[in-house]
Amino acid sequence: MILTRLTDFLDGHKLKYVLIQHSPAFTAREVAVTAHIPFHELAKTVVLTVDDAHMLAILPATEMVNLAFLRDALKTPAVHLTNESEFNALFPDCEVGAMPPFGNLFDMKVIVSASLAEDEEIAFNAGSHRDLIKMAYEDFDRLVRPRVLPFSTERHARPNPFTRGLS
């Protein structure tokens, strides 16, 4: 499984990290709550198709990819979110939606949101909906060598239609 490959990779580079195992969680908010990680410290991995090649975009869970910003930053109109139906072929050892941000393990380029690059630590799914790794952002940057770009915008909570008008 990818967890062994990932921890072997980190251990091989003699890096410090914490492996957090938690009950199954499928959204970034659930992962943060279940693993007791502040929501803004959790990084999510988004798979993009850019000019017919796949790329990983890493950003804080509190933000979302702004495709217009990304198209401008990458100077190409051919940028879109990759369909989840392709994930099994791209990440055969990972559960869908739990890919770690190490594009170098999947032969993919990686871009990181400028806001995430400011953090001291990064926490991310480690290939399953039960495993999380937390490590220094500086170490992640040294291993992955991502391109840092301003491509994300703050995610605003959607109003709950069932509580509208209630005090």
> Is 160 a member of any domain?
no
User: Percent of the chain having pLDDT more than 70?
Assistant: 93
Q: Is residue 102 a contact partner of residue 46, using CB atoms and an 8 Å limit?
A: no
SS3 category, 147:
strand
Question: What predicted TM-score, i.e. pTM, was given to this entire model?
Answer: 0.88
* pLDDT tens digits for range 67-94: 999 999 999 999 999 999 899 899 999 9
We report the CATH number of the domain holding residue 84 as 3.90.960.10
Q: Is 50 helix (H, G, I), strand (E, B) or coil?
A: strand
Q: Considering the chain, what is the average pLDDT of its residues?
A: 89
* Contact present, 9 and 102 (Cβ < 8 Å): yes
Q: Mean per-residue pLDDT for 24-41?
A: 87
Q: How many domains does the chain have?
A: 1
Over residues 39-57, the pLDDT tens digits come to 888 999 999 999 989 999 9
Nearest to 111 by CA among 155, 70, 63, 153: 70
Q: Range of 124's domain?
A: 2-154
More confident residue, 72 or 156: 72
